[in-house]
Amino acid sequence: MNSGLFLVKQPNLSIPDIKNRVNFSLYPNPASNEVIIKTKSRALINSVKIYSILGKEIKTLNISGKSSVSLDLSSFAKGIYLIQINNNTFKKLIKL
């Protein structure tokens, strides 16, 4: 058996960077009572999911193709939340 250093060339197994294809803005961040999500492209928002920092799904909003959504956060306890914005093609996760 041969010993030594072996170089194995494999194609890149990662997915291409798609962060610039669909842009969303979320403001204000941090938020206290309300947050607004807007698309900066032609993409439409189909659903929004809110997760606790531990990954537990807290709320799901099914939205039928809007470019702007207002979320009422007044009933949420203070803390850090993750918001997943979905459309037919992409998902984006934002820390709130």
E strand residue ranges, the chain: 24-27, 34-39, 45-52, 57-66, 68-72, 81-86, 91-95
Query: What's the domain range around 29?
Result: 24-95
Nearest to 87 by CA among 1, 30, 26, 21: 21
In a domain, 4, yes or no: no
Domain of residue 81, CATH code: 2.60.40.3080
In a domain, 11, yes or no: no
* Paired strand residues for 82: 51, 95
Token reading at 27: 């403001």
pTM greater than 0.85 (yes/no): no
Number of domains in the chain: 1
* Residue 96: count of CB within 10 angstroms of its CB: 18
In a domain, 8, yes or no: no
Instruction: Render pLDDT for 16-75 as a digit per residue (tens, 0 to 9).
Output: 454 445 578 889 988 889 999 998 878 888 999 999 889 899 999 998 888 899 999 899
In a domain, 34, yes or no: yes
